[in-house]
Chain A
Amino acid sequence: MRSRRAVAWVWGGRAVLFVGLLLAWEGWAGGRDPLLYVSPSRVLPAAAQLLSAYPTLPEHLRLTTGEIVAAYGLSVAVGLGLGLALGLPRHVGEIYEPLLAALYAVPSVVWYPSLMLFFGLGPTSKVAFGFLLGVFPVVLAVLTGLRSVDRTLLTVARAYGAGPGASFVKVVLPAITGTLVAGLRSSLALTTVGVLVGEVLGARAGLGYLINYAYGLLRTADYAALALLALVLVVVVDGGAALLEARARRWTG
């Protein structure tokens, strides 16, 4: 265990670094072309006026959140189904997991133009891209978790007369919960990124669209404030997921 003093030093160092970075940014951007460079001291006022400058902001925010929720719901449902279908029967996962892993070696954004062609500029293509990014961590988490299930426990459960349903609930589920919850959390983070990337690359509404809109009009301070808002959204989403993860871990022990 480290002493309290050492911990205080570390946090002090982090605070100094954080303030130093902000000051460096302020000093660097301060004297330059305000159309291109925005200092922190200009971002905060712009953030305060965001709602009056963009009265439709809540609707865009609602759309983006809705897209994230839809994409995440799909990722979890399909990911769990696919993971169990690949992982439960013998050999099936062995055959298809390397193919899935190969898909991981492809930069995900190459699929986005095809999704635009299928679904157009509307929210569907964003949901589809968020889903595409979010489904893999769930599938892989289920597969990893299933591999860690103790076969002996399964045999014992069967010997004591547990049917497939009962052994799934009593043996498999507790064993995979830890991995699964971690996978569900990274899936949520990736889904959020996917939706935002989709919106920035081309959309007619949503937070990413607004960011693009402000940037296109060279309202650079507004753009920075909107990007900050998106960052807050990301942090809130992930913070919520972290809390749920901690609770699930306590539950499984």
Chain B
Amino acid sequence: MDRVRPGEASTPGPAAAAPSRPAAPAAGLTAGRRRLAQAGSVVLLLSAWEAASRSGALDPAFVPAPTAVARALAEVGPTALGLLGETLGKTLVAYVLSVGLGVGVGLVVGSARHLHDVVSPFLVAAYAIPKILVLPWILLALGLGLAPAVAYGTLQGFFPICLLVIGGVRDLDRTPLLVARSMGARPGQIYRKVILPAALPAVLAGMRLGLVFCLLGVLVVEMFGGIRGMGFLLASLATAFRAPALFAATALVSTLSVAGVVGLEALSRRLARWR
């Protein structure tokens, strides 16, 4: 997954969002062997970590052994799940807003050439600006409740989705558009029947990328503002120096995020086949 580079005039194509898949070389490994090697490496890494932590090569106060982290998970789990629910609720609202606005604006800006030429540098710049600079102001203006997390999550998610959709629409084949227009299709019909289906891969790529960005935004607000939720839990476990619980909570959020993205990937593969 590439980020759009700041200052770059062009918008990212759909390929920019998906983690680049290795084009399997002719003499590549079989999928089974690859999985085995991956699982083996992870198990090896965890065992080495466990051994290093137990023997005292790694200070368990800083890097607790995986078994200690697993025990801590059972302990911190109930609290963490409740807070995770709050975080996910906020993320969901921000995500729906980001996808709705990002896809809507992306379709309109991508399909109107003059509008695109004028507006897109602003969108690229807004994407590239570190959003963290406006975070304090968002908390000032919106207080400490649900609103700042949703606003900042949406701010994080909107621009990458919008830019990907714009890129997808710009790369469309023009012929079906011309045909539909010459057959007298109304603009609403053109968007629904021609542009949206053709831009679907870009929309789906944006949805995968946007999910991570929205979750990131919500977590940052919770960490910074000390607002209830998973970000706050992570920050306070770090301050309280509870490494095993912190690692367990970190693993929980990470796993969930990867699961979300993998789920969306499966969904988009299914949609691609259906199309």
Interface residues of A (CB under 8 A from B): 9-10, 13-14, 17-18, 21, 35-37, 90-91, 93-99, 101-102, 104-114, 116-118, 137, 140, 143-144, 147, 182, 185-186, 189-190, 192-193, 196-197, 200-201, 208, 211-212, 215, 218, 220, 223-224, 227, 230-231, 234-235, 238-239, 242
Contacts and interface: CB of A to CB of B under 8 A. Distances in A.
B178 interface: no
B34 A105 contact: no
A97 B238 CA distance: 30
Contacts of A140: 2, 20
Interface in B29-74: 29, 34, 37-38, 41-42, 62
Interface string B192-225: 0000000000000000000011011001100110
Contacts, number: 176
B246 A113 contact: yes
B145 interface: no
A224 B137 CA distance: 9
A220 B138 CA distance: 12
Contacts of A235: 6-7
Contacts of B118: 10, 13-14, 17
B140 A227 contact: no
Given A109-B223, A137-B2, A17 B133 contact: no
Contact of A106 (B24, B29, B212, B237): B212
Contact of B5 (A36, A99, A186): A186
Question: Could you say which of A21, A107, A200 has the most chain B C-beta atoms within 10 Å of its C-beta?
Answer: A107
A109 B38 contact: no
Given A95-B34, A239-B7, 11 more contacts: A37-B141, A98-B22, A102-B258, A105-B260, A106-B254, A110-B257, A113-B235, A114-B238, A189-B6, A200-B132, A211-B133
Contact of A196 (B122, B133, B224): B133
Given A95-B41, A106-B258, A147 B133 contact: no
Given A99-B38, A104-B19, A186-B2, A110 B253 contact: yes
B38 A116 contact: no
B1 interface: yes
B131 to A, nearest CB: 9
Contact of A98 (B38, B220, B237, B253): B38
B133 A230 contact: yes
Contact of A193 (B19, B62, B122, B132): B132
Contacts of A220: 137, 140
